[in-house]
């Protein structure tokens, strides 16, 4: 498990996403290994490249990174979209390709209750 935020908090208020993540870390919840507050597109791109470089060494799969507005006051003014927040943007990495053996297929329940089959695979070799 890696914590990226909270749904609802009572009795505690955070002014920024970084402040929330620092609180989660101090409370001993696992947080992303790379968490940066930066200004400007060039800085965002540098952090995304750093995350992509560390992708292979993670103990779990990731397919991208999420760029979020840090200031919670600004977030509240940006509101929510119909399907996602207007204060966050997902950046997807190029998909990895490999020849694999499927060991098992297990059901995974998403946040909306949708069940999706997930293949448990052993990569044989890279297809690149």
Residue 32, pLDDT above cutoff 90: no
CA dist 60 and 55 (Å) reads 9
The answer to whether residues 64 and 114 belong to one domain is: no
Total length of the chain: 128
The answer to whether residues 89 and 102 belong to one domain is: no
- What pLDDT score does 90 carry? 92
Look at 96 and 43; give whichever has higher pLDDT: 43
The domain in which residue 3 lies consists of 1-94
CA dist 91 and 30 (Å) reads 22
Binning pLDDT at 50, 70 and 90, where does residue 128 land? Answer: low
- Which of 25, 32, 100, 28 has the alpha carbon at shortest distance from 60? 32
The answer to whether residues 50 and 90 belong to one domain is: yes
Number of structural domains the chain divides into: 2
Angle at CA of residue 106, ends 102 and 53, nearest 5°: 65
Q: What percent of the chain has pLDDT over 70?
A: 97
């Amino acid at each position: 498990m890696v914590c990226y935020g909270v749904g609802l908090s009572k009795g505690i208020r955070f002014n920024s996403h970084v402040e929330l993540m620092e609180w989660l870390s101090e409370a001993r919840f696992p947080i992303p290994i790379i968490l940066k507050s930066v200004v400007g597109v060039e800085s965002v791109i540098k952090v995304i490249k750093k995350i992509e470089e560390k992708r292979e060494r993670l103990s779990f799969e990731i397919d991208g990174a999420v760029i979020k507005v840090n200031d919670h006051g600004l977030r509240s003014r940006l509101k929510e979209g119909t399907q996602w927040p207007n204060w966050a943007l997902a950046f997807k990495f190029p998909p990895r390709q490999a020849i694999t053996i499927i060991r098992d297929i297990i059901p995974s329940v998403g946040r909306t209750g949708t069940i999706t089959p997930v293949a448990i695979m052993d990569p044989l070799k890279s297809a690149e």
